[in-house]
Amino acid sequence: MSQLSKHISMAEFCYSDTAKRKGIDNSVTDPKHLADAKNLCEKVFEPIREHFGKPIKLSSGYRSLALNKAIPGSSKTSQHCLGQAMDIDGDILGGVSNKDIFNFVKDNLEFDQMIWEFGTTSNPDWVHISLKPTGNRKQILKASRVNGKTIYTAY
């Protein structure tokens, strides 16, 4: 399968500079993880892309367990490892602010967890969004750094 949805390829969803640099295979091999990745791309990424009508950068999608271990600060229970999470950065391509993406998802889409990742009070550095097949919590958090540690608080 080369496309997970109209605007996200499997290669894009699995791409990682860290994996490339460290020689880590970051392929989705579990059929359940593949199904969850497809669900996430179709139900979260595509509606965002369609709403704004502009290219949106996926900065992180799938992470194999080996890759997740190699990324400092990653949670051992990361939904990225299940194909259920992505990080989106609209600011990279300049057409849409991360705040606008955050607000659109919050007000219009189903999700399990969404995190305003770092940045300022007016715009996050990127937006983390996860989606499970069922039982989504609609949990909204804000990530910030305190004394070098990442702290998550309710948004």
pLDDT value, residue 72: 73
**Residue range 70-88: mean pLDDT, rounded:** 88
Q: Domain range spanning residue 86?
A: 3-154
The domain that holds 108 is classified in CATH as 3.30.1380.10
Tokens encoding 142: 């804000």
Could you report the per-residue pLDDT of 104-123, keeping only the tens digit for each?
A: 999 999 999 999 999 999 99
Quick one: pLDDT at residue 71?
A: 87
For residue 51, the one-letter residue type is H
Distance CA 143, CA 77 (A): 16
User: How crowded is the C-beta side of 78, counted as CA atoms within 13 Å?
Assistant: 24
Q: What percent of the chain has pLDDT over 90?
A: 88
Domain count of the chain? 1
pLDDT at 1 over 80: no
Residue 36 C-alpha from the chain's centroid: 13
Tens of pLDDT, residues 16-58? 999 999 999 999 999 999 999 999 999 999 999 999 999 999 9
